[in-house]
Every structure is written in structure tokens, then in C-alpha cells.
Amino acid sequence: MKTTPLVLVLVLAVGCATKIYEGPTSGRAAEAQVAISLAADSALEAFDAEPYRAQAVAVEVYGLTEKLEGYSPEEGYLRSLVVRKLVQAGARVVEGRADADILLAISLDAAGVDVIRRDLPLIYHHTTFRGLVRGRAVAYSLRERAVTGIIAATGFSRESIYREIYIFYVFGPITTREAVAPKLEPAPPAK
């Protein structure tokens, strides 16, 4: 009878939880979306839209990732967050520069996810989805669609950690998620 717990532990220890990720045909993995949206939400928390109250603002996002048409999902998501903040603050968001007093140009340096797996064989396993959103928002004053000066320029950067933990490779996933300050600060902007 004393051997029963030992047998039980051995049976559990040889178990294996395998997670299958579908490729691009099914879109982006849910975990990656969780990580990146968490980072984006947190990165723009400090964005102050109050100075744009009662102004007509055009919002454009410039990202490094390739896209076939329109904005990439990350760029579109970030733009929607900025637009929401502007509208909440009482700004008028316009589609083109022709009707705008201010052009808010957002350079999106990085919007992606690193996946890191850690493993203490048979006992512990976790997969971390580490998202990062980093960029720079520059508000330009517009006169007859020409950029004449910089009203404000601010960098934003935030990491997020979404983690799934398995004990004995079987029990889980135990999930945790948090937004954290990035370990690396953005490069200083051009002067």
C-alpha cells in the first residue's frame, strides 16, 4: 500500500501535456494576442489626450512590419486605442490631413511577442509569451496640410507577460498575466 503514492507520482511524472499551435491560417495565436493587447493597453495608459480637446486630429501609424493593405492588426489596434482616448478627451478625429489641425504620427518600433519555454524535467514547465509594444508619438501642427512644427513628442514602451504553468506536465495550465515596465528603454529620438 505504501507504494501506491509512489506509483501515482511516477504515473503523473511521465505524463506529457502538449499544446498544438495552429499556423497563420487560423490567425494569430490567442496567447500572442493577449500578450500584445495587454502591452498596448498599458503602453498607452499614460498617453495624455487632454491637450487635443476641441482640436481636429488626424492619426497615422507607421510600423516596420509588412502588410499587404491598410494597417497591420497591431497598428490598427494601437490606432483604435489612440482614437478612443482622443474622442473621450473631446477631440475630433478626422480621416485626412486636409481637415486636421494636428497630425498625430505614431512610429511603431516594435509590436511583437517572444515565446520562452522553461522546463525542469518531469516536475515543472512554463511557457511565457512576452509581448512588447514600443514606439513614439509625435504631434505636428498642420497649416494647409504642411507640417510646420512639433507640438509634443513622447515615447511609449511596455512589456507584458502572459504565462502558462504546468506542474508534473499534467496539472495546468495555471495562467498569470501582467504588464511590466520594459527592461530596455527606447533609443533616444533624433535631435
Partner 1 sequence: MGVQHSTQEGEAKALERAVQSVDYSLVRGRAVWVAGFEPAGLVAPPAEDRRLAGALARDAYLAARLVERLVNLGNRVVAEPREADIWLLPWVRVLGSQTTHREYRESLLFYYPVYVHDESHAQAAVSIGLYDRGSGELRDLVSGRSYGLIVEPFILDVLGFRLGF
75, burial (CB in 10 Å: exposed 0-12, middle 13-18, buried 19+): buried
Q: In this chain, which stretch among 6-14, 84-92, 148-156, 165-173 interacts with partner 1, using CB under 8 A?
A: 148-156
CA distances in angstroms from 28 to 55, 167, 191, listed in the order given = 36, 26, 37
Return the range that interacts with partner 1 (CB under 8 A); candidates 6-14, 21-29, 42-50, 173-181: 21-29
84 binds partner 1 (CB under 8 A): no
Taking the least distance from each CB to partner 1, the nearer of 13 and 105 is: 105
User: Which range binds partner 1 by CB under 8 A, 2-10, 60-68, 80-88, 164-172?
Assistant: 60-68
Which of 71, 81, 16, 99 is closest to 42 using CA atoms?
Answer: 81
Nearer to partner 1, 4 or 148 (CB): 148
User: Cβ closer to partner 1: 112 or 172?
Assistant: 112
Is residue 82 classed exposed, middle or buried when 0-12, 13-18 and 19+ CB atoms within 10 A define those classes?
buried
According to the binding rule CB under 8 A, does residue 22 interact with partner 1? no
According to CB under 8 A, which one of 13, 87, 138, 165 is a site residue for partner 1? Answer: 138
* 57 counts as binding partner 1 under rule CB under 8 A: no
Q: Applying CB under 8 A, which of residues 56, 83, 105, 165 lies at the interface with partner 1?
A: 105
CA-based R_g, the chain, Å: 22
Cβ 56 to partner 1, closest distance in Å? 15
Contacts of 121 (CB under 8 A, 6+ apart): none
Residue 115: all three cell numbers together: 515565446
Give the Cβ contact number of residue 78 at 10 Å.
28
d(CA 15, CA 154): 50
**Binding flag, residue 114, partner 1 (CB under 8 A):** yes
Position 63 contacts partner 1 (CB under 8 A): yes
* Owner of C-alpha cell 514600443: 134
Given the rule CB under 8 A, which residues bind partner 1?
24, 28-29, 32-33, 36, 58, 60-71, 73-76, 79, 96-97, 105, 107-114, 116, 118-121, 130-132, 134, 136, 138, 140, 144-150, 153, 183-184, 187, 189-191
